[in-house]
Amino acid sequence: MLPRFLIIFTLFGLACCGFDPVYQPKSSQQLAIPFSLQVTGDNDTAYSTYKFKQEMNSLLSTLTPPPGEKLKIKIHLTESFGDIGYGSDASILRSQGRMIAILEIYSSHATPLYKNTIDMVSSYTINNSEEFTNLNAKNAARERIIISLASEVSREISFVIRKFDTFKKETPLNSEVLSAK
């Protein structure tokens, strides 16, 4: 009888105290982005591709597309890790991770608007006697690269949207001036 009472009391207490799950977003629905976003990557970097797309969804949800346009954004990721520093005994002292994002933006008419390659690099120290520490350092470097690259790509997309919006506003004026001549 006592264990049942404790379980009921605990559940009631958690429900009343404003308990919020740690890993669930505050809103029950995902934030919708006003773009068609396609993120691809190599099979070896499935986690990086997934994490990058999640970061991009949260960053792009605050942007507003140009009126009357449905932009399509394609991003292809490649990731590589390699050794960059060696000791006098030829042991590895430092490694580096690099992620490259090829960004392509298309208008709603499927015409290419913009293409650019953006890359990020992060390095980490290797401890030859600790494999677990090395793996954690590599994963932390990967996370830093993903977050930094996603924010840089979203800045680039924001810049393109502002330029595209300005260009669309200027285009009718320029065509009127050209037709008046």
Answer yes or no: are the C-beta atoms of 60 and 154 closer than 8 Å.
Answer: yes
Q: Which residue has the higher pLDDT, 49 or 171?
A: 49
Verdict on whether the full-model pTM lies above 0.85? no
Q: Please give the pLDDT value at position 174.
A: 37
Q: Please give the pLDDT value at position 13.
A: 65
Q: Please give the pLDDT value at position 65.
A: 78
Distance, in Å, from the CA atom of 90 to the CA atom of 150, rounded to the nearest integer, reads 35
Q: Which residue has the higher pLDDT, 3 or 163?
A: 163
Taking residues 26-32, report their average pLDDT: 53
Burial of 63 (0-12, 13-18, 19+ CB in 10 A): middle
Distance, in Å, from the CA atom of 146 to the CA atom of 101, rounded to the nearest integer, reads 10
103-130 pLDDT per residue, tens: 999 887 788 889 999 999 999 989 888 8
Q: Which residue has the higher pLDDT, 29 or 75?
A: 75
Answer yes or no: are the C-beta atoms of 104 and 114 closer than 8 Å.
Answer: yes
Q: Please give the pLDDT value at position 137.
A: 92
Distance, in Å, from the CA atom of 42 to the CA atom of 85, rounded to the nearest integer, reads 26
Answer yes or no: are the C-beta atoms of 121 and 98 closer than 8 Å.
Answer: yes
